[in-house]
Amino acid sequence: MEVNKPVVVATEKYGSAESWEYLAKDGVIERRRHDRDGASRGNFLICLFKTVFLPQGYPESVSGDYLQYQFWDTVQAFASSLSGTLATQASLRGVGVGNQEATVAAATITWLLRDGTGMLGRILFAWRKGSKLDSEAKKWRLFADVLNDTAMFMEIMAPNFPSYFTLIVCTAGIFKSIVGVAGGATRAALTVHQARRDNMADISAKDGSQETLVNLAGLLVSLILIPLVTDSPLLTVGLFLLFTILHLFANYKAVRSVVMATFNEVRLSIVLHQYLRDGKILSPVEANRKEPVFLEFRRKPMPIKLGVKLQEIVQSQEDLDWALKNNDKPYLLGARNGYVSVCLGPEASVCDQIRAMCQAICLSSPLNSAPAGVEAQQLLMLRQLFTLNSQRHWEMVCNSHKLMDQIFIPFLKGVESAGWQTHRTLLDWDEWRVEWKLKSS
């Protein structure tokens, strides 16, 4: 006589980590793990580690580049922790710790001056560059780490220049305050990118747990290093340089591993230029691979300003008439005083913003070849745009509207098919919005 076999009545899983099934037999329901190997102690420890240090629902709840970025971020945090220990030891020695002739008051004043200048630096940097940190998160992230290493190197070398010690540590304090603003803000921007289930708080909290674990490991290693380098400035500098190289390399690999599917000016320019050359739409992975991650401090030949006041584009009624010619979109473009400027209307959508940026890119960059369907005469007029003294300047702007009419819709459909997000952007728009009363002619 055949014995009754258990019947699976339900299954459940916890993300991709666990899979269970419910079996009914003789009126009793039993729950057991679907994968018997998953019950091993090793897998239990792995699951526990994931629960403690990785966001809930990993890997489905985060971006595809999360693990690679976090690996290199962990390496750089460990190296930075060791470098920071060496810098702190040097700073303490510089303010007189261990020196019987040093006074508490002098050390306190030096410390207060360093903190005070750092606070001022934090406020000024956030005022001047705060709006840039979202649109260029990778560049500012890497810049912050380079500046942090520079500040720590200054702190290590400061005791060798006692006459200038206060000046050096105050300058290093300003650098570190900039690092605090840029590093914290860009970390938040990257967290927004990594979150796939509106779980930014969870990702940020688990990132803090990872960093705490790394700092704890760095603390244990530092306890071994400090006795070795206390009386050896040369060894201190040598180890610092070694940790700095590791720190910068890991940071470079970390920002290179980030694949953002949201357009900023650089990524949009890369994708648009490729499309104008050969009609190919680059995927987010391909475009991010080409995106530069180092800040450029030299001024571009024809930079773009977004969301400007109307007076930066038009100076007369004739200018306004030209700006509206062939233009039925809620933005105005013009090139004046060495800038390509875009004036935005209050009703402009994200799609309008992307189109305006594409048009500004075409006006600010000479193109190498014409896309299919674009007349050579139009392309020639775009190339001649930068002769700003030319009376045909506004004609070139008008022709850029015609160019966008031909290429933008196919381009927009192409980038959406390639996986780019077009419902939001990281374009650096200022807050001016202008509502013009005249209709386009």
DSSP string, 277-346: HHSPPPPHHHHHHHS--S---SPPSS-EEES--GGGT-SSHHHHHHHHTT--SSEEEEEETTEEEEEE-T
330 and 294 Cβ atoms separated by less than 8 Å: no
- Give the span between the Cα atoms of 189 and 135, in whole angstroms: 9
- 21 sits in which H/E element: strand 18-25
CA angle 258/260/261 to nearest 5° reads 150
The H-or-E segment that residue 406 falls in is: helix 393-417
Q: Whole-angstrom Cα distance, residue 347 to residue 345?
A: 6
381/395 Cα distance (integer angstroms)? 8
304 vs 363: CA distance, rounded Å: 9
Phi, psi of 13 (to 5 degrees): -145, 155
Domains and CATH numbers, the chain: 7-53 (no CATH), 66-257 (1.20.1250.20), 265-291+298-417 (no CATH)
Regarding beta strands 339-344 and 304-306, do their DSSP bridges make them parallel or antiparallel, or are they unpaired? Answer: parallel
Q: What is the pLDDT along the chain (441 residues), one digit of tens a residue?
A: 456 788 888 888 776 667 888 888 777 888 887 765 544 555 778 878 888 899 988 888 999 999 999 999 999 999 999 998 888 887 777 655 555 555 566 667 877 888 888 899 889 999 988 888 889 999 999 999 999 999 999 988 888 888 888 898 899 999 999 999 999 999 999 999 999 998 999 999 999 999 999 999 999 998 888 888 877 888 888 999 999 999 999 999 999 999 999 999 999 999 999 999 888 999 999 999 999 999 887 777 778 999 999 998 888 888 888 888 888 889 999 887 778 899 999 999 999 999 999 999 988 874 334 444 444 444 444 444 444 444 567 877 888 888 899 999 999 999 999 999 999 999 999 999 998 875 544
Q: How many CB atoms lie within 10 A of CB 242?
A: 13
